[in-house]
Chain A
């Protein structure tokens, strides 16, 4: 019986970490599925770094988590119907985004009030996912993959789909960027200045759904926030400059994913665990550094 990740035990024997970096890298990338995982993980990291930064700014991490749980019945339903899980991830996450936007209060500036709507959607999504799982009883390894992540079986087609989606999503975000920033920090003034705040928010939720679907491939639907929110929150703790924060968020997401993949490969433990742990360690360090920086500034000011 393979471990939770579905890891084939015969590979683990060959993968021993050494002090020879080039040998390690060679070991890491010797199999096509690992190369696919690295490329796909990199694409997902870039997308999550950017879109997650806005999620943190907008205070929509709960919506992000809910979109991930909405992706769960999507993936399990797709498998039950014999479709690729990717179809389910994207279809349900995007539909969930529309549902959240449609059921939320219409006035701009009342975002914080939609948590009840979001919670209701999350509950029904989990229930529906469990229902699909019960329909094809027995495939429990793929259940744990859905929930906690796996990187085995990322095919070249998957990589292509992820890339196309990421390019489209980031293209839309490039058009949306400045008004989205405005609507995120100051919705009432943005509305008065002519920003279609509701449309921008809906589009953003759809992009968030796409990012969630991409990240779910690696982290599983329950650990999506590890990739979507943790690097962005770390970046936001370190800088309040939007451009620097976005770049930092992407960089941290890449480090988290690639580090997590490598750690999973060499330790034979689930990738979801490693991605989350690396990300969280960075977050704790950043918060500590920010607190130390503030104390230092205060001392400089009072001195």
Chain B
């Protein structure tokens, strides 16, 4: 697999023509970066997944991590959590090494679904996001009597976040009995209830129907507008394309970060994939990437 430790595909080497296409752009001169990656490399066992990843994500940005299956997108999220070792370069998350500030990070792993056998309510799952990591067993009755104010504050916090993701109608039903889209909203609520500064989501739109995709994408955009940095691994960039500040494209051992318009271009992707790739833009603004090695069928930008 071709590896590019020299960081051949950096922003300064980008196709300049792409810049004409309204990038929301990373704001210049921003405060301390939420994520600062320099020459980051990742391994899975002995195999090098990617190298030379340079990216700076600032507070409140909406960032997509794109690339074919197995490129290392999910691994990159786990590296940000300190759950996967950094094989090279330097990676800083919330101004520290990964794993130091996980209580400020909300995380949504890939493709979790709960079958009907899981007998726990959505609201219980969301509440675990508040204090699930703390030792002890809270007894609801005792808490309501002894720590009344705190129990009340927590209840409201959970209720508010459930209302914010629009899950109030089904939060008290067993999680296994609600639909995939409804589960996804409750899981986002669980990640949000910690009031994170950084939200990491691994393919949150996967396996959702179109209205649900748009609903969840809009929700994530509102969350990032409130100042939470959102990093999302996506298979299809189109539902979120209009909201993105930045994309991190990981292909064949290389990585490229920057404004979407600057990164997702025919020239960049051809170089990353090492074979001719064409990026088409439909009149409605959607991106279509054709000619990728792994894209026999329609495969939109990732």
Contact = CB atoms under 8 A, between A and B. Distances in A.
A175 interface: yes
Interface residues of A, number: 31
Interface centre among B102, B117, B119, B132 (most CB of A within 10 A): B119
B112 A186 contact: yes
Interface centre among A181, A185, A189, A242 (most CB of B within 10 A): A189
A175 B136 contact: yes
Contacts of B287: none
Contacts of B121: 240-241
Nearest to A194: B133
Nearest to A239: B119
B173 to A, nearest CB: 8
A255 interface: no
A241 B83 CA distance: 31
B135 interface: yes
Contact of A192 (B81, B114, B119): B81
Interface string B98-128: 0000110101110010100111110011001
B132 A179 contact: yes
Nearest to B124: A242
Contacts of A24: none
A178 B124 contact: no
Interface centre among B112, B135, B141 (most CB of A within 10 A): B135
Contact of A194 (B102, B125, B141, B190): B102
A158 interface: no
A76 to B, nearest CB: 34
Nearest to A189: B107
A282 to B, nearest CB: 16
A14 interface: no
Given A178-B135, A178-B138, A185 B125 contact: yes
B174 interface: yes
B136 A186 contact: no
Contacts of B103: 193-194
A192 B201 CA distance: 12
Interface string B250-281: 00000000000000000000000000000000
5 contacts: A178-B136, A185-B118, A189-B190, A195-B133, A237-B119
Interface of A: 56-57, 59, 109, 173-179, 181-182, 185-186, 188-195, 236-237, 239-243, 245
